[in-house]
């Protein structure tokens, strides 16, 4: 395949990376894109690091064989904190863009010096136990809370839920951070982007919400500048769901909402090895 016709591949455990995909695709409509939702292994956040590394390595190997992407975007914080270093070693010919929580701007701008981090069990455990959070502000405290129930809510219900239900889901987390004195909350799981409005609504006016969506697009765009952009008309974006055959009907709905044509939605049978 001609180098710059190769697609940019987005990967998440489910729908979490779709807002990241859409942000990128809207700004770069000519670039061919494949979105892989690894429903066969959902949820990523509850898995230990070695399990996650091995299943993502296996999935990436299959995706490389099938799509030969020019860039792989891990649109998932849990996958990125656990597997990014390993993937870069395993597949040195492929540039990887990882998603990590936007702690840097939150820490730098925080006045109370207390920052809330909301993520999965995997992400919070990894970042809490590392020096990472201290890097941008030794005088600040990052309070990490894992919210697997929010991941499940987004994956299974958020899109069809009204604003009031979404706010009800996020309220206890926002209030917990507020009581702890945080003036910022970092959405450290891509699924939580679906709840952005609810977070902003509940957090205003004293707490600022941070996410990493524009940073990720920007990183992919700068890689594309150096690699060469697609000069022609792109094919339709492709949506792949692992391990579900026949495809769960709600994926047809997601495909519609996110602008994937019906015929470009299909399943990829996979086993966790």
Q: Which of 42, 177, 199, 210 binds ligand DGL (CB under 6 A)?
A: 42
126 lies in the binding site for ligand DGL (CB under 6 A): no
| Nearest to ligand DGL of 40, 207 (CB atom) | 40
Using CB under 6 A as the binding criterion, the count of chain residues that bind ligand DGL stands at 16
Alpha carbons 192 and 145: distance in angstroms, whole number:
13
211 lies in the binding site for ligand DGL (CB under 6 A): no
Q: Contact 267/241 with Cβ under 8 angstroms?
A: yes
Q: In this structure, what token pair is assigned to residue 179?
A: 């009581």
The residue assigned the tokens 């507020």 is: 178
**Nearest approach, Cβ of 123 to ligand DGL (angstroms)?**
5
SS3 of 92, please? coil
Q: Which of 7, 16, 98, 144 binds ligand DGL (CB under 6 A)?
A: 16
Q: In this structure, what token pair is assigned to residue 5?
A: 């016709």
| Nearest to ligand DGL of 32, 45 (CB atom) | 45
Q: Which of 9, 53, 55, 77 binds ligand DGL (CB under 6 A)?
A: 77
Alpha carbons 138 and 134: distance in angstroms, whole number:
5
| Nearest to ligand DGL of 6, 11 (CB atom) | 11
**Nearest approach, Cβ of 62 to ligand DGL (angstroms)?**
18
Please give the angle made by the CA atoms of 100, 98 and 239, to the nearest 5 degrees: 115
Kindly list the catalytic residues. Answer: 76, 189
* Nearest Cα to Cα of residue 241 among 13, 9, 6: 13
């Amino acid at each position: 395949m001609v180098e710059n016709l190769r697609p940019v591949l987005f990967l998440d455990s489910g729908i979490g990376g779709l807002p990241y995909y859409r942000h990128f695709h809207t700004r770069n409509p000519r670039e061919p894109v494949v979105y892989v939702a690894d429903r066969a292994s959902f949820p990523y956040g509850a898995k230990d690091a070695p399990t996650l590394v091995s299943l993502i390595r296996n999935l990436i190997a299959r995706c490389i064989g099938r799509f030969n992407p020019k860039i792989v975007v891990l649109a998932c914080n849990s996958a990125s904190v656990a597997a990014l270093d390993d993937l870069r070693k395993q597949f040195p010919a492929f540039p990887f863009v990882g998603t990590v929580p936007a702690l840097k701007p939150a820490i730098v701008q925080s006045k109370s010096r207390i920052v809330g981090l909301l993520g999965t069990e995997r992400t919070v455990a990894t970042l809490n136990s590392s020096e990472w959070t201290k890097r941008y502000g030794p005088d600040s405290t990052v309070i990490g809370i894992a919210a697997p129930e929010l991941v499940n809510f987004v994956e299974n219900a958020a899109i069809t839920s009204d604003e009031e239900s979404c706010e009800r889901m996020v309220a206890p987390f926002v209030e917990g951070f507020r009581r702890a004195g945080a003036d910022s909350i970092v959405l450290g799981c891509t699924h939580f982007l679906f709840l952005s409005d609810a977070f902003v609504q509940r957090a205003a006016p004293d707490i600022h919400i941070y996410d990493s969506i524009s940073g990720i697009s920007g990183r992919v765009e700068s890689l594309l500048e150096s690699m060469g952009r697609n000069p022609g008309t792109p094919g339709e974006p492709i949506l792949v769901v692992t391990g579900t055959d026949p495809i769960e009907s709600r994926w047809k709905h997601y495909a519609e909402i996110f602008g994937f044509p019906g015929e470009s939605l299909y399943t990829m049978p996979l086993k966790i090895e």
